[in-house]
Copies of this chain bind each other. A is one copy, B any other.
Amino acid sequence: MGGDRGLQVTVPAAQAALREHSDLRLILIGRRDEVRAELQRLNGAEDDRLKVYHASEVVGMDEPPAQALRSKKDSSMRVAINLVKTGEAQACVSAGNTGALMATARFVLKTLPGIDRPAIIAAWPTMRGHVHVLDLGANVDSSPQQLLQFGIMGSLLVGAIEHKAAPKVCLLNIGVEDIKGNETVKKASELFRQSGLNYGGYVEGDEIFTGTADIVVCDGFVGNVAMKTSEGLARMISRLMKEAFMRNLLTRVAGMIAMPAIRSFRKKMDPRRYNGASLVGLNGIVIKSHGGADSYAFENAISVAIAAIRNQVPELIGSKLSSMQVRNASA
């Protein structure tokens, strides 16, 4: 268990989450001896709220999902998702291989009735708060009907978690007028208009961050590129800013003086606060942490799972789907 950085991240994150949430119980799944050793190193131990379950196998971060699904029946990921299936656990949080997690979750938990494909949704910061964006890479080619399903799932999730009656959902599109969107987006827009959702029309990439939408819907290829591009740009800006302040003695002193302001700015933008993407559309809660997450970030992913459990997100999506037009639209 633990993505790129392993138990040194997940075990302290688990301990912090248990301190933070008094009604939380956690099961750590991995090579039992290693997990216990790490717990011991951190002066922790198993108790009523913290269990360690054994899983003998590990899915590699670059392992093909189909292979992991077929041959790693005792991976920590598979064992965790099986616990969600049996109801022993209410959610699974993993920093592992995204493709394998999605394939395993889909195989074990199955999609909700009325949902063709699960999607990956996460919150991003905006000028006014945050926005939820999906799909971030679970699908590469989505039909208009699938985009509508993403919109419905996103609206229900955001409605449940943020207690908004009618969150505003927009479709990501491009701004060159000749070709305002491809055919899929145009058809999806018609479906959104008839859906009963609070549909706010198209947004372009830059409007994701203005906070005009509560949910932005796009296909997984586009969403993944937008997410990774944003991550890369933020990393570059952060590095160039650091370099500018490290250039000479004068700028270093200036940097120290400016540190409180820089810190408050960094805190707002801290990607760790936004760690934890939900795999929606499944009969169960599965949260994907960034593979490179540190323990603060991983604790946030656990919090995302807690919010989904408290607000019964899959049950809500499942029960509301039948009363909405998705079945008609996809029929």
* Interface residue ranges, A against B (CB under 8 Å): 62-66, 97-100, 102-103, 125-127, 137-141, 172, 174-179, 181-183, 204-210, 218, 220-222, 224-237, 239-241, 243-245, 247, 250-251, 253-255, 257-258, 260-262, 264-265, 268-269
A204 to B181, CA, bound (A): 22
A6 to B126, CA, bound (A): 31
A244 and B227 contact, CB distance less than 8 A: no
Residues of B within 8 Å of A102, CB to CB, are 176, 178
A177 to B224, CA, bound (A): 12
- Beyond A209-B235, A222-B225, 4 additional contacts (C-beta under 8 Å) are A102-B176, A140-B174, A205-B228, A255-B258
Q: Which residue of B lies closest to A61 (CB)?
A: B177
Residues of B within 8 Å of A100, CB to CB, are 177-178
With contact pairs A234-B237, A244-B264, A269-B237 given, residues A205 and B226 touching in the complex (Cβ less than 8 Å): yes
Q: How many copies does the complex hold?
A: 2
From B141, B241, B261, contact of A247 by CB (8 A): B261
B229 and A229 contact, CB distance less than 8 A: yes
Among A138, A204, A229, A245, residue most surrounded by chain B Cβ atoms (within 10 Å): A229
